[in-house]
Amino acid sequence: MHFPGCNISHLAVAASLALWVQTGYAAREEHTFEVSVSIPTHDFYVLPVDPGFVEREQQMNWNLVNGTLEPLRTLFDVRSTSGAVSARLGHEPVLSNGRDLIALNVIFNNQPLLLTNTVVVPDTEANIGSRVPLLIEAITPDAGFSAGEYFGSVQLVFDASFPMH
């Protein structure tokens, strides 16, 4: 194609385009990330409504007004077609700063959890499925709370009970 007043040859245009295309691909970014999914059985599950709850560290906020730690609260979906659901703690739940300890109360569906099994969802509710609360609250030490950075973990263990015949 020839335009009057334009002296650029087809070869020069092609070379410019080739150079532009090559430099257009000179920088490149790649991202690789993990993808997973957990699909529960319809027979038994105990899952937080917010799936990120168990995947990220939970922060108990300090209340400056009354000098206490705000409790953690979340909801769980629970179902068991084979009977009641029981729960227990995997270990004593405490926060530590390396010197001081803060004990935690863990309450699932209004039932305090211990190191031994406690029925937390009766079979009639578990069979159809329920959404129930989890509450984790700090127990104020006798000497009060000491300043510091505290860390700890809470391990919940859930079991489906099988009906006796």
The string of pLDDT tens digits covering residues 29-71 is 777 777 777 777 789 999 999 988 988 999 999 999 999 999 9
Quote the number of domains for the chain.
1
Look over the chain and give the mean of its residue pLDDT values, rounded to a whole number: 86
- Which tokens belong to 33? 């990330």
Could you write out the DSSP letters of every residue in 113-158? --SS-EEEE-HHHHHH-EEEEEEEEEPPPTT-PPPS--EE---EEE
Yes or no: say if 151 and 92 are a contact pair by the CB < 8 Å rule. no
State the residue range of the domain holding 60: 44-160
Is 21 domain-assigned? no
Closest to 85 in 3D by CA, of 127, 131, 48? 127
Is 22 domain-assigned? no
Is 51 domain-assigned? yes
This prediction has a pTM of: 0.74
Q: What is the SS3 assignment for 23?
A: helix
Yes or no: say if 113 and 88 are a contact pair by the CB < 8 Å rule. yes
Is 96 domain-assigned? yes
Q: Which pLDDT does position 53 carry in this prediction?
A: 92
Is 11 domain-assigned? no
Q: Which pLDDT does position 65 carry in this prediction?
A: 94
Q: pLDDT confidence of 6, banded at 50, 70, 90?
A: low
Is 66 domain-assigned? yes
Least confidently predicted of 17-26, 59-68, 85-94:
17-26
Is 1 domain-assigned? no
pLDDT > 90 fraction of the chain, expressed in percent and rounded: 68
Q: Which pLDDT does position 137 carry in this prediction?
A: 98
Is 62 domain-assigned? yes
Give the H/E segment covering residue 76: strand 72-80
Q: What is the SS3 assignment for 88?
A: strand
Yes or no: say if 69 and 107 are a contact pair by the CB < 8 Å rule. no
| Distances, alpha carbon 64 to alpha carbons 61, 67, 68, in Å | 9, 5, 7
Half-sphere exposure of residue 146: CA atoms within 13 angstroms, side-chain side: 14
Q: Which pLDDT does position 93 carry in this prediction?
A: 97
Q: Which pLDDT does position 51 carry in this prediction?
A: 86
- Which tokens belong to 102? 């803060």
Yes or no: say if 56 and 112 are a contact pair by the CB < 8 Å rule. no
pLDDT at residue 99 above 80? yes
Least confidently predicted of 13-17, 31-35, 38-42, 84-88:
13-17
Give the CATH number, domain containing residue 108. Answer: 2.60.40.2040
Tens digit of pLDDT for each residue in 139-155? 999 999 999 999 999 99
Q: Which pLDDT does position 3 carry in this prediction?
A: 55
